[in-house]
Structure 1
């Protein structure tokens, strides 16, 4: 909404009250024409709202409550505040109390929220990219579509949250109690696709702590270890995956894991005999890629 002085600066031509209302109807967010100077009214949010109310109209609501935003920045105390769509990039909100606050669509990228209390906060669609959430209390917070990439979550309380629809690539310190084996495994595959093998292994480790018989996590961890040059570790993980796939009567998974093992061991044997060949290395990489494709396509 333009201020009175902004409106004056954008006068194009005088306009009658009737046409003035029509202009507002067609473009309520931008007042380009104003009343003649003799009939000038001060266009404040109150007077304009009153004017339109007489015509049965409702103005669009601002995306954020500026009073609440000011309160947060000055006191760091803003329970149940409406901070929808607020711009808080790199803001220092360490220790802030935001219990039940509505931060849907807010931009908190790289903000310092260490130790902040965000219990029950609505963070739907909010960006917390690179934010410091170390020790923050996010219990029961709504994290649908929340961008938590590259954020720091060490010792953060995520009890009662659902990270299934959040973006967590590169996030550090996610507690193993914050997700399911399937979630950690899925995050591991995302990191693998990006070539972040150490991060992938960390996720698969958590998946296997939660479910020690989760076969695909072993195979996926084996693939990541192979890409890091740990062939023996890759073989051990693929063998475990093969045993579990057999136990679970997953023929495709068992055969793929066995092929993964056989090709790595054949390559190692050829090296021991001094006969390692680029062709054999390519076969191993091909089988490994096939295993990854199987996992990415939901092969359990």
Structure 2
């Protein structure tokens, strides 16, 4: 019993950390306003020959730059602005990307192994086939990021990212994150429930019902009463959607139920 309690405590701490990170950006208008001197010689070298290993590119302005295949291994790109840059196949292994903006950047096939991604803005970036071995995304901003490899996050991380995407109305991305969480942890009941809600919002009633029922079964087995009740609320909401006139006579509010369920997804394993 003590071991299970300890495990749950660690899991809650991980979810808290991830949700605090992913939701913090929603109330932040920028990553920083302090100006830093840019090493123009290194910036020019990078843009001209795309070879800048170990370069000092702190605070460099590289918005929309074409850096496909560039060698930036070990470079200091802290606070650099690489928004929308083409970094396809680039070597960023061991690079310092602390506080850098890669918002909307194309990092397909890039090597980010060993890079420092502390507070890195990866929103809407493409990471398909990118290498992220030995990195931590726990404090990076990944809303809308596509292609995060399974090994780059825990089940709790992917669940938290899924909840945030669902809150943003990006249900397809939420489902992808829930899928990753369930591959890592097949009995992760909250991920089934979250995925069921996302399917429901995409009007896939069959899959929504299947996931809600599966979540209910797992919550029951795991002794999570609140989770089980929430899964039943989802099932009831699905039934109401199938027969709205009857729902009106009973006084059940479909919209209110969805809002309540969405809020509870945050609470299930990360009570603040």
What's the TM-score, normalizing by structure 1? 0.74
User: For residue 111 of structure 1, what is the aligned residue in structure 2?
Assistant: 85
Partner residue, 2:54: 80
Which residue pairs with 1:134 in the alignment?
Answer: 108
Give the match for residue 243 of structure 1.
217
1:159: how far off? 0.9
- Residue 157 in structure 1 maps to residue 131 in structure 2: yes
Are 1:202 and 2:176 counterparts? yes
Alignment-derived partner of residue 289 in structure 1? 259
User: Any conservation in 1 of the 2:78–2:100 contact (CA below 8 Å)?
Assistant: yes
In structure 2, the partner of 1:171 is 145
Structure 1: unaligned runs, 5 residues or longer: 1-60
Deviation at 1:240, TM superposition (A): 1.0
The answer to whether the 8 A contact 1:235-1:261 is kept is yes
- Partner SS state of residue 245, structure 1: helix
- Deviation string for 1:190-249 (max 9, x for gaps)? 111111111111111111111111111111111111111122211111111111111211
Check the 8 A contact 1:159/1:178 in 2, yes or no.
yes
Following the alignment from structure 2 to structure 1, what is the Cα–Cα distance between the partners of residues 192 and 100?
33
Measured after TM superposition, the shift of residue 130 of structure 1 is 0.8
Q: Which has the higher contact order (CA 8 A, sep 6+)?
A: 2
- CA separation in 2, counterparts of 1:218 and 1:161? 27
Match of 1:228 among 202, 209, 219: 202
> Hey, what's the Cα distance between the residues in 1 that align with 2:240 and 2:210?
15
Count the aligned residue pairs: 236
Give the 5 Å matches for 1:1-300.
Answer: 63-265=37-239, 268=242, 270=243, 276-278=246-248, 283-299=253-269
Q: For residues 113-139 of structure 1, what are the alpha-carbon distances to aligned partners after superposition, in whole Å with 9 as ceiling and x for unaligned?
A: 000000010001000011110100000
Q: Secondary structure at the residue paired with 1:203? A: helix
Please report how far the alpha carbon of residue 263 of structure 1 lies from its aligned counterpart in structure 2 after TM superposition. 4.2
Mapped to 2, the partners of 1:279 and 1:296 lie a distance apart of 31
Larger radius of gyration: 1
CA contact (8 A) 2:233 2:261 kept: no
Q: Return the offset for 1:64.
A: 2.5
Equivalent residue number for residue 5 of structure 2: none
| Structure 1 residue 278 displacement after superposition | 4.5
8 Å CA contact 1:267–1:276 kept in 2: the answer is no
SS at match of 1:168: coil
Q: 2: CA distance between counterparts of 1:281 and 1:264?
A: 15
Give the CA deviation at 1:74. 1.5
Computed over aligned residues only, the root mean square deviation of the Cα atoms, in angstroms, reads 2.0
TM-score of the superposed pair, with normalisation by structure 2: 0.81
Relative to structure 2, which stretch is displaced further, 135-144 or 173-182? 173-182
Give, in whole Å, the separation in 2 of the partners of 1:196 and 1:260: 19
